[in-house]
Structure 1
Amino acid sequence: MNITLHNLGRRFNQEWIFRRIDYTFSSNQKYAILGPNGSGKSTLIKTLTGQLAPSEGTLDFSIAGVAIPIEQVYSHVSIAAPYIELVEEFTLNELLDFHFKFKSYLAGFDKDVVVDLLGLGKSRSKELKYFSSGMKQRVKLALACCSDSNLLFLDEPTSNMDLEGEAWYLDLVHKTSRPDRVLIIGSNQEKEYAFCDSFLSIVNYK
């Protein structure tokens, strides 16, 4: 899968968050979008996932050279981000059942495997509103990474996580890597993206 950006820009009112980005994201590669807080990393990710329309330029999506219409891109995307909310009235079992009605499990994964991966077997029937912030972050990451998607976006992936959680995150990324997947991480912490192949600094596109 490829995402090709042609002169891409996004602004709010008269302020350009980024502009003139010409870049291609390709399968079997891991990318990091870098920049300080408030620099526009999340805005770029929202544009790449179709949550925001570009203010200028175009985005092209394709698989094996076949174009994918923008209105169908959502079916190829999974994402974990601070602005993506969990349904906290659901139990963990209910959330997994709900999420995977819309997404297929990644090959080799199922409900029991994901629960075991989370280490939350004793909390399957607990409502998410009673989970700690670190537990919720693990759930967000597992839902995204264990979904069968060509495009995986992780924005600030270790927010609310302790050192054990950070190590768990790195192991999760390793276990769910696939040759046909594009991984894009938005971060300003090297520990979250040190394993990436390519780096795009948002401050170069102001």
Structure 2
Amino acid sequence: MEYIVRTHDLCKAFNGDSAVSNVNLNIRKGEIYGLLGPNGAGKSTIMKLILNLLKPTQGVIEIFNQTLTDTSYELFKRMHAIIEYPIFYEKLTAKENLDFHCEYMGYHNKKDIKTALELVNLKNIDNKAVKNFSLGMKQRLGIARAVITKPELLILDEPVNGLDPVGIIEIRDLLEKLNKEYGITILISSHILAEIEQIADTIGVMNNGYLVDEVSMEFIRENNAEYIEIETSHARQAAYILDSKLKINNFKVLDAKKIRIYETDRPQNEIYKTLVSNDIPIQSINTKTASLEDHFLSLIGGGENV
């Protein structure tokens, strides 16, 4: 198995405060790797470390089977990244921005500018200054700039942040195309679990600076567990009835209005009747299948065990 990026006990501290702790990341060639975690979990810090924008306090980073050093200039010709929002020369057009980018990258095949703009579906904008672009258009132009030099590795930090639903779908479709048709390995960070669930091959879950799990989406799908989800305005009282009256032990109170029961052999109508007969109002009761969100929340301490 060939890896594009590997980190070994990677650590980064700022003024004595740890931002990343002992992270062992493994990104395979040709996959989309989704880095998930709440704000402040360390996702952006890891990306900046891989890009040599930050220096690790401890640990080793391997890219294309080479250890990253202060003089690893050749490695960065094989990769590109967008950290936070892409920045452009606002008064120039998209084509002029890409032309300028090719100049300072030493990339001389200018015919690829048109191809890159078509790839990200930026058309009929020849005379339009970038300052007049929407956020979604700027994100797509950023990706065009990132892929014009044909990188083997693309690193994107929250690329759908702030986009409307249509913009999110467009970016998702574009990333899938870059990965499947162009063979680009993609590392993408996000807090939008539903989007990552649809495109990622592997998930890395960050929490408080630690990589708490690294798992394939295939494994998550194959090991999906069914559960019964109850919505009620009296979750605490319902939990007492489940335990004392129905003798159900394997359940979790997620919040003040939601309970999940993992003993799915118990008929829903029996649960419903018992709760209602004990004056517990039920808004809904349904059988569902565990998702990436459930896996994620279980790792970062979401919900409340009973």
Give TM-score scaled by structure 2 length: 0.59
Runs of 5+ consecutive residues of structure 2 not aligned to the other structure = 211-306
For the 8 Å contact 2:116–2:147, the answer to whether it is kept is no
For the 8 Å contact 1:32–1:186, the answer to whether it is kept is yes
Backbone CA RMSD of aligned residues: 2.6
Distance 1:110-1:158 versus aligned 2 partners, 3 A rule: same
Tell me, in whole angstroms, the C-alpha distance in 1 between the residues paired with 2:61 and 2:100: 30
Tell me, in whole angstroms, the C-alpha distance in 2 between the residues paired with 1:184 and 1:37: 17
Tell me, in whole angstroms, the C-alpha distance in 1 between the residues paired with 2:38 and 2:9: 22
* Secondary structure class of the residue paired with 2:167: helix
Tell me, in whole angstroms, the C-alpha distance in 1 between the residues paired with 2:53 and 2:35: 17
Tell me, in whole angstroms, the C-alpha distance in 1 between the residues paired with 2:67 and 2:13: 26
1:76 is displaced (CA, Å) by: 1.5
1:180 is displaced (CA, Å) by: 5.2
Which stretch of structure 1 is more off in the superposition, 177-186 or 149-158? 177-186
> What's the counterpart of residue 184 of structure 1?
187
1:166 is displaced (CA, Å) by: 1.3
Identity, % of aligned positions: 28
For the 8 Å contact 1:9–1:57, the answer to whether it is kept is yes
Which stretch of structure 1 is more off in the superposition, 125-134 or 81-90? 81-90
Distance 1:48-1:90 versus aligned 2 partners, 3 A rule: same
* Secondary structure class of the residue paired with 1:60: strand
> What's the counterpart of residue 27 of structure 1?
29
1:139 is displaced (CA, Å) by: 1.1
For the 8 Å contact 1:145–1:172, the answer to whether it is kept is no
1:56 aligns with 2:58: yes
How do 1:100-115 residues align onto structure 2 when only pairs under 5 Å count? Answer: 100-101=102-103, 102=105, 110-115=112-117
For the 8 Å contact 1:137–1:161, the answer to whether it is kept is no
> What's the counterpart of residue 174 of structure 1?
176
* Bigger radius of gyration among the two: 2
1:146 is displaced (CA, Å) by: 4.5
How do 1:148-167 residues align onto structure 2 when only pairs under 5 Å count? Answer: 148-167=150-169
Tell me, in whole angstroms, the C-alpha distance in 1 between the residues paired with 2:41 and 2:59: 20
Runs of 5+ consecutive residues of structure 1 not aligned to the other structure = none
For the 8 Å contact 2:42–2:208, the answer to whether it is kept is no
* RCO higher in structure (CA 8 A, sep ≥6): 1
Read off the aligned partner of 2:41 and give its amino acid letter. S
Distance 1:204-1:116 versus aligned 2 partners, 3 A rule: same
Give 1:202's match in structure 2, choosing from 202, 206, 209. 206
> What's the counterpart of residue 130 of structure 2?
128
> What's the counterpart of residue 196 of structure 2?
193
* Secondary structure class of the residue paired with 1:183: strand
Tell me, in whole angstroms, the C-alpha distance in 2 between the residues paired with 1:170 and 1:105: 29
Tell me, in whole angstroms, the C-alpha distance in 1 between the residues paired with 2:108 and 2:202: 27
For the 8 Å contact 1:137–1:159, the answer to whether it is kept is no
Tell me, in whole angstroms, the C-alpha distance in 2 between the residues paired with 1:77 and 1:166: 23
How many residue pairs match? The answer is: 202
Tell me, in whole angstroms, the C-alpha distance in 2 between the residues paired with 1:190 and 1:141: 21
> What's the counterpart of residue 74 of structure 1?
76
Tell me, in whole angstroms, the C-alpha distance in 1 between the residues paired with 2:78 and 2:195: 23
Give TM-score scaled by structure 1 length: 0.85
Tell me, in whole angstroms, the C-alpha distance in 2 between the residues paired with 1:37 and 1:204: 9
Tell me, in whole angstroms, the C-alpha distance in 2 between the residues paired with 1:41 and 1:142: 23
Distance 1:146-1:173 versus aligned 2 partners, 3 A rule: farther
